[in-house]
Structure 1
């Protein structure tokens, strides 16, 4: 791939302006005859994004696509995690995009194929993989057209459907995605032993399981307690249960694995607050596993709709935050005190609580506004 952006002088200019205000830079005339300032700024944005999201691409000779493609790409850390789950002989990514997932997921496969309908984006990915010394078959085609003519069988198909409609609004139901997974599921499963689909972290798991037979595994992936994606695994092989794993990367990499049957067959034990309060990781809360947390760790729940747990003895391997707390009255809260505010199953949001009580945000202490079975309560860290 011959690209004028790879000119040494232009690359030096890009690197020298990585911390320059991009809006002011766009108002300037490009110092290079054949490269516009918008093209230069695109590369600066790409490197800035790579510093945080996929640092393995901070290498000489890498070309970055428009910002939208960077935003839609998976992060390096989530791609690396998913790569530890998959292996085989043949791998195909039917929506390769910027190729971050494909780069890592395909490392345990002998033959790799990338399908992408955007020719400019595919050219960039093919160039970058050459710089990174990775081989693949690159196909510029719409995935549905590819499925129509393809006669090969793969061990794993991976795809990340577009989650925006024609008006650029976010969509979450499977039938609103592009492609529509419900429509092409059977074709996918005749083409591969296993189909892996990356979905929005906002998707409802019960809805997902009800409309899409063949799911045998779900990964809820969070990074620093921010849920980034839900990944589903499908096959034609009949299995009795769906295994769900909630992982929290870069925060101890704690995980919680369960089946839906376990949750349905478990009853929580309830109690007023004891010495320690437990707040599950957001990946667990996203999965809706509330009773099983109580049983697995021998904890008591505060209220059916309050997903906080308590005990007198500290549980050290709990997948979440553990705070030593005590109950307080509202009159004991002094104005201008500094606390981190948590509101769970409580009428007021943290911002409203800060205004009502004149509390400053931050510091090392915590105030939890919540409900037990006896009513509204306030908990203060000890």
Structure 2
């Protein structure tokens, strides 16, 4: 880490250019001989990301790493949520990266250890934690080497593997991540009773359960209906039921927990649209519990391939949107009206629907193009 980046005059220049065109800025020569314009722009980008993703880092003295490290870092919101379900005496993050998760997850622990093989990145994290008055043991070492040499036990082991290959392409299978989770899972469970892995929101849950040992819990975490993370909990010697929890942060929706095997034994009933239409949030869709949602909330599905539900009653605890709607004919849709368009199991995409019926985005009304068992239908807000 270049400590010169913290010089007051350089920091003032960074803050003065937070809204500048970064491409134009990169074409200019740095006004400071001790740092390059690329290094200055890196800090500007970091502050821009922090404004939305982790605003607690918008303090004097904080240094930001390259863009790729910022992308994989958890948001402050998801890190805070995870911290509320973990506690113990000794916590270790084996791939600390930029340290956002470790900062929050370790708040209920007495001793904190951070492992990171990237020397410069670890120096940045150490600097930032000193600014934030947060203490930890920082170890600059490869995870595999640490596991070989370590003789210590921990209450919780946390791991956020790199999800890009050597060519910077995204990868998803556990054996393609760095480190290879399948190769080291036995070693990880040998140093702790509980081991937690943060994974891509695109990971397949059935695949995970089939290749990982001792899975006890899965957390599917969304922020405002955008699934951000799938977090896997492994408990030593565990062989019981796997509980999955779906949570949509920054919404008024309650979380929904279920036994991962429940979907196999659940059955959905079907109906034409009734008074209320239920649209599951994206954590529920990610979990794939389409029949369980129907049976648990006593709702009826419109069609086997349409993940919309209906009822004459309003069920307040439903994890998603509830809309009062009616079936309409396409002739009842006026041109240039404003709608929030949704297309589910329908031949046309929202943009194609908008063009065909000459509609505009926005407003308070919803228009859903979908299918029931009887065929294509259009639903409009009442």
Q: TM-score range by the shorter chain?
A: over 0.9
Partner deviation per Cα, 1:278-333 (whole Å, 9 max, x = no partner)? 10111111000111211222211111111111111222222111111110122222
Matched with 1:339 is 339
Q: Which residue is 1:260 aligned to?
A: 260
Provide the C-alpha distance between the structure 2 equivalents of 1:253 and 1:100, rounded to a whole number of angstroms: 25
2:306 and 2:85 map into 1 onto residues whose CA distance is 33
Q: What's the counterpart of residue 141 of structure 1?
A: 141
Range moving further from structure 2, 116-125 or 339-348: 339-348
Match of 2:43 in 1: 43
- CA offsets, 1:9-45, max 9 Å, x none? 1111111111111122222222222122211111111
Distance 1:139 1:253, change over 3 A: farther
Secondary structure class of the residue paired with 1:294: helix
Q: Distance in 1 between matches of 2:96 and 2:102?
A: 7
Displacement of 1:64 after TM fit? 0.8
TM-score (norm 1): 0.97
- Give the Å deviation of 1:92: 0.7
For 1:325 and 1:103, the matched residues in 2 are separated by 45
Q: Match of 1:69?
A: 69
1:317 aligns with 2:317: yes
**Structure 1, 300-309 or 331-340: larger mean CA deviation:** 331-340
Quote the residue 1:224 is aligned against.
224
Are positions 1:284 and 2:284 aligned together?
Answer: yes
Counterpart CA distance in 1 for 2:144 and 2:84 is 28
Query: Which residue does 1:215 correspond to in 2?
Result: 215
Equivalent in the alignment of 1:94: 94
CA contact (8 A) 2:192 2:236 kept: no
Where has structure 1 moved over 4 Å in runs of 4 or more? Answer: none
1:1-382 correspondence to structure 2 within 5 Å = 3-252=3-252, 254-382=254-382
CA contact (8 A) 2:253 2:320 kept: no
Q: Secondary structure at the match of 2:273?
A: coil
Check 1:265–1:343 CA distance in 2 against 1; reply closer, same or farther (3 A cut): same
Q: Distance in 1 between matches of 2:346 and 2:144?
A: 48
1-structure distance, mates of 2:170, 2:26: 29
Structure 1 gap segments, 5+ residues each: none
* CA 1:194–1:38: 2 relative to 1, 3 Å: same
Return the alpha-carbon distance in structure 2 between the equivalents of residues 65 and 176 of structure 1.
Answer: 24
How far, CA to CA, are the matches of 1:169 and 1:87 in structure 2? 35
Indicate conservation of the 8 Å contact 2:93/2:114, yes or no. Answer: yes
Q: How far apart are the structure 2 equivalents of 1:50 and 1:261? A: 39
Q: What is the CA distance between 1:171 and its match in structure 2?
A: 1.2
Separation (CA, whole Å) in 1 of partners of 2:349 and 2:275: 25
Q: TM-score when scaled to structure 2? A: 0.97
C-alpha distance in 1 between matches for 2:103 and 2:148: 25
- State the Cα distance separating 1:2 from its structure 2 match: 7.2
Q: Is the 8 A contact 2:336 2:359 kept in 1?
A: yes
Number of residue pairs matched?
Answer: 382
Structure 1 position 349, deviation (Å): 1.3
Q: CA deviation at 1:226?
A: 0.1
Shift in Å at residue 253 of structure 1?
5.3
Q: Distance in 1 between matches of 2:326 and 2:302?
A: 14
Greater alpha carbon shift after TM alignment, 194-203 vs 162-171: 162-171
- 1:144-200, CA deviations, whole angstroms, 9 ceiling, x for partnerless residues? 111111111111110111111222221111111111111111011011111100001
| Cα RMSD after superposing both structures | 1.3
